[in-house]
Structure 1
Amino acid sequence: MDIQQLIDKGFPVKTYAKDAIIYEPGMLPHHVYFIKAGEIRMVTVSEEGKEFIQGIFKAGEYFGEPALLIGKPYLAYTIANKPSQLIPVGKTDFFELLKSNADFSMQLIQVLSKRLFYKSMMLEELANEKAEHRLLTIVKYLTEELEEGEALKVTRQELADMTGLRVETVIRGIKQLAGKKLILLKRGKIIKQKDIKFSL
């Protein structure tokens, strides 16, 4: 769904400051949020206050639809990583978009399937005690859609929050993977390379 189409239809754009919470666990869903600008992270938080990243959403993407589709409360926080502009689309309007736009409906199925795959993959990885294996799996997943030579735009802290590892462990693990030539580092950035090996 093109963001400009939503604006042309009269949907309002709301501005959120960095670190603003869009919704939190237990809240009932009323909207799907389309991102005009900025970046949003979806996280669960442990009793100790540690975040585990469920996903990061960027301009042109949307979030919040699973809970809306089944009418269940949210299970995670969504927080603005940077100043963001969102277009909230209510349940009735969102369902109308699905009914009137077959391409968008198919895109939604693909998006939900990709997120389900990611969650299943990470559940399996969390059972793996080897930090290097966790890191290699998430790097492989995150670089799949990058062009060769493109840098992965994810911080070490975000990798830590995605894998449940300490940031120090991530920094050390990334260096070890690069030393084994399992990933390519340039100026501290993970670079998508051709014919990369993804096995330990």
Structure 2
Amino acid sequence: MNFQKLIDKGLKLKSYSEDSVIYEPGMQPRYVYFIKSGEVRMVTVSDEGKEFIQGVFKTGQYFGEPALLIDRPYLAFTIANKDSQVIAVNKEDFFELIKNEPDFSMELIRTLSTRLFYKSMMLEELASEKADHRLLTIINYLLGDIAVGENLKVTRQELADMTGLRVETVIRSTKILAEKGLIKTIKGKIVKV
């Protein structure tokens, strides 16, 4: 995404410090948020305060568009994982972008399709009671986005939050998966082979 085009349109760049809430469940959508720098997580929070990560959005990505497109309240929190700069694009400007930028429209369709696939995959996995299988599925999914030889850049806590498992279970299951040769670890880091 060409952020300069958005800034040239007069859209403001807003800074969020780490752990700042951008929006929360129940709020009416007014913007789609484009990340110029930083990282944002989308989470639901249980009554006990446990987070379940629905997605992590990084520099160059955007979030908040499904609720805006169908005019329904947000269902989750979005929280800055680290200091981030975000451009909030209102509904009118977002629809203009879809209408006038065919490449962006195709990218939006791919993005929404990828998220739908991820949600379907995770629903199927959450129905399974096997922690190892659930963890292996999310690891393989995340490895698909990185190059061979790179480390998976998620923490054990994030893996736990993505799978609904406890950190201790993630640690134990990671060791089991590595011992079985289903994943490769180097110095405790999961590596794509």
1:183 aligns with 2:183: yes
Question: 1:140 deviation in Å?
Answer: 0.7
Identify the residue that residue 196 of structure 1 maps to in structure 2: none
Amino acid at match of 2:188: G
- Greater shift, 161-170 or 2-11, is seen at 2-11
CA distance in 2 between counterparts of 1:188 and 1:35 reads 30
Cα distance in 1 for partners of 2:61, 2:144 equals 17
Deviations 1:84-106, CA, capped at 9 Å, x for gaps:
11000000000000000001000
* Match runs of 1:146-157 below 5 Å: 146-157=146-157
Please tell me the residue identity of whatever aligns with 1:27.
M
Partner of 1:73: 73
Partner of 2:32: 32
Other-structure match for 1:86: 86
Shift of 1:10: 2.6
Per the alignment, residue 105 of structure 1 pairs with 105
Q: 1:138: Cα distance to partner?
A: 0.1
Counterpart of 1:42 in structure 2: which amino acid? Answer: M
SS in 2 for 1:138: helix
CA-CA distance at 1:80 after TM superposition = 0.5
Q: 1:134 & 1:8 partners in 2: Cα distance?
A: 45
Distance 1:22 1:155 in 2: 22
Deviation at residue 161 of structure 1 after TM alignment: 0.2
Query: Which structure 2 segments of 5+ residues have no match?
Result: none
Q: 1:97-176 maps to which residues of 2 (within 5 A)?
A: 97-176=97-176
- TM (norm. structure 2) is 0.98
Q: Which letter does structure 2 place at the counterpart of 1:99? A: K
**Whole-angstrom CA distance in 1 between matches of 2:86 and 2:96:** 19
Distance 1:6 1:148 in 2: 34
Distance in 1, matches of 2:154 and 2:2, equals 25
Give the letter aligned to residue 122 of structure 1. M
Write the letter of the residue equivalent to 1:55: G
Q: CA deviation at 1:115?
A: 0.3
Superposed CA deviations along residues 66-96 of structure 1, whole A, max 9, x for unmatched, are: 0000000000000011111100000000000
Q: What SS does structure 2 have at the residue aligned with 1:173? A: helix
Q: Deviations over 1:8-50 (max 9, x none)?
A: 3332100001110000000000000000111100000111111
Task: Give the structure 2 partner of residue 56 of structure 1.
Answer: 56
Structure 2 Cα separation of the partners of residues 6 and 187 of structure 1:
42
Match in the other structure for 2:18: 18
User: Identity over the aligned pairs, expressed in percent?
Assistant: 70
Q: Determine the C-alpha separation between the residues in 1 that align with 2:83 and 2:141.
A: 26
- Tell me the CA shift for residue 7 of structure 1: 2.2
In the alignment, the residues of structure 1 paired with residue 75 and residue 44 of structure 2 have an alpha-carbon distance, to the nearest angstrom, of 8
Number of aligned positions between the proteins: 193
* Structure 1, unaligned runs of 5 or more: 194-200
